Amino acid sequence: MELNKAIKLRRSVRHYNKKFLNKNTIKKIISSGLLAPSAKNREPWSFIVIKNKDLKEKISNLLNEKTDNDTNITCNVIKECQALILVYGNIENNFDTLSIGACIENMLLTARDLNVASLWIGYILKIEKELSEMFKCDKCLISAVALGYTDKFPRQRPRKTLNECTIWY
C-alpha cells in the first residue's frame, strides 16, 4: 500500500474478530516504530506485547474498575484484540514523549498497511501503577496499542480542512 493511502485509510478500530495475528506481523509493526525519529537518537521506547487472553482480560477488568462508563468500549477492545502492546519510555524530557508518539504513529500506519486494525489507547494510563507492578517495569507508561483483525474498518470521521487549521505568513 502506498504511504498516502495508508494515512488516508488508517482508522481507530474498536471491534475485532477472532482471526489469528501472528508474531511476525507484530514484529513488523513494532520494527517500523523503531524507525521513527527520536531526539538525539535516544530511542526512548520499549514494549510489552500481551497476547495471552487471560492477561488481557485481567488488564481490561483493572481498567474497568478504575474508570467510568466512557471506557467500557476500550475495555472490550483490550479483551477482543489479538495483541495489546504496552508502550513504555525512558522519559528525560518532552522530546522523548514526542519521539514515542512518532514511534506509535509509524506502528499504526504499518498495521494499516498490513491490513491489521489498531487502536491507540490513552485510557491505559489510568492503571499505570497497577501495570508497572504487574510487569515489574520501572519505565513510564506512555500508551497502549491494540492490534488485530476486523471484519470492517470504520468510515472516515469528519476532519478539519487545511484552511481551518492553518495560518500562512
Domains and CATH numbers, the chain: 3-153 (3.40.109.10)
Say if residues 45 and 33 touch (Cβ distance below 8 Å).
Answer: yes
CA distance 156 to 42: 35
Which cell numbers in the block locate residue 31?
520494527
Which cell numbers in the block locate residue 113?
498497511
Is residue 68 predicted with pLDDT exceeding 80? Answer: no
Mean pLDDT of the chain: 94
Instruction: Give 79-126 pLDDT, tens digit per residue.
Output: 999 999 999 999 999 999 999 999 999 999 999 999 999 999 999 999
DSSP 161: -
Which cell numbers in the block locate residue 97?
514523549
Instruction: Give 13-35 pLDDT, tens digit per residue.
Output: 999 999 999 999 999 999 999 99
Amino acid found at 94: N
Which cell numbers in the block locate residue 136?
515489574
Output the pTM of the full model: 0.94
Closest among 160, 38, 24, 23 to 105, alpha carbons compared: 38
pLDDT at 85: 98
CA distance 39 to 94: 10
